[in-house]
Structure 1
Amino acid sequence: MTGDRVTVSLDDDASAALETLTDRTEDGHSELVRQALTFYAANFEAATANREVDLGVYYRMLAGGEHVLLDVDFLHCFLDYVETEAGDPDPDFLESADRVSEYHASEYEKRFLTLGDLLDWLSFCGFLTVRTTDDDTYHVVFPTESMKWFMLRFIERTTTALDFEIEVDEGVSKVLLTEHAE
């Protein structure tokens, strides 16, 4: 050890975190601060890249086993191969995807109050990019045409039990989605 010493003023949150970690690990304050600095340095890019991203949510999604990380190129490959030679979605795939959508519709009924909440979640998951154009209208961009038809179908089917209807105005790769009260 180099013997470097650092004096740090802790705010209430940092002090509470240090005490909690001390109790949980039974390590001393110095050891915990060393581990925290080493961890922060090793994960600096992830910790500072986008302050709006909550890495804890990603962790909970993956740790629960219900979600997986999938390279976006693989996703596009899958979607390309579920279309017939005519370019239409395969009926067997649609049937399976619709079953997944129905399940999520019951889950989303308790989880999302607005279209914006749902779109933020799907954006967080990486399926689309969204920005609000006014109170109830959202400008949604999809990376590919296949992602657009797939996600629009999913959105339309998962919002059936929610307390609003959706108006869809499609462009080439962009869509305006407007929430209307029922």
Structure 2
Amino acid sequence: MAKLYFYYSSMNAGKSTTLLQSAHNYRERGLAPLLFTPQLDNRAGEGRIASRIGLDAKARAFTPADDLHQLTVAAGAIDCVLIDEAQFLTRAQVYQLGEVADRLGIPVLAYGLRTDFQGNLFEGSQHLLAWADKLIEIKTICHCGRKATMVLRTDEAGNVLREGEQVEIGGNERYTSVCRKHFKEGMAAKQSGDLPLEDS
């Protein structure tokens, strides 16, 4: 039986890299993956998924109005559906992806953030956490060495922002993955006093 998987993490944990590796594995075995990415995330260009380590692939850009079940049916013979930036899915689209797994028998692998810079769930993440058959955490680390589970947003000067729109597309320059402790403290980087002393 096909399943709906949610691979979740903080920023810069390698979600897109993992997705692109999965797509490569399917293609290497002669299978056809269908890749989706939200139209609003155009950092790599519309309809492209790119990783920080230089991997990229063409994908079908979708909007909140698109029916992902219908788009999958229209794509023809598909062996797997892969969704990048799955936090931007709507509740209806998460349901549609469940239908892809349940009715079409096609596995669905969704990759996305769990929470935003205020510690709140995204709509897509909320419903994936509730409805996915399998939840897989992709781990990254805070500047202190602990597991990073939260995201801080900063301005151009590096000041931590606690207010603003939930969605603001940006990469390393605007967001930092941190542990819960440093999220609460608003510490996006190691302070100079935290550095180990050098031997003289």
TM-score normalised by length of structure 1: 0.23
More strand by share: 2
> Higher RCO, 1 or 2 (CA under 8 Å, sep at least 6)?
2
Structure 1 or 2, whichever has the larger Rg, is: 1
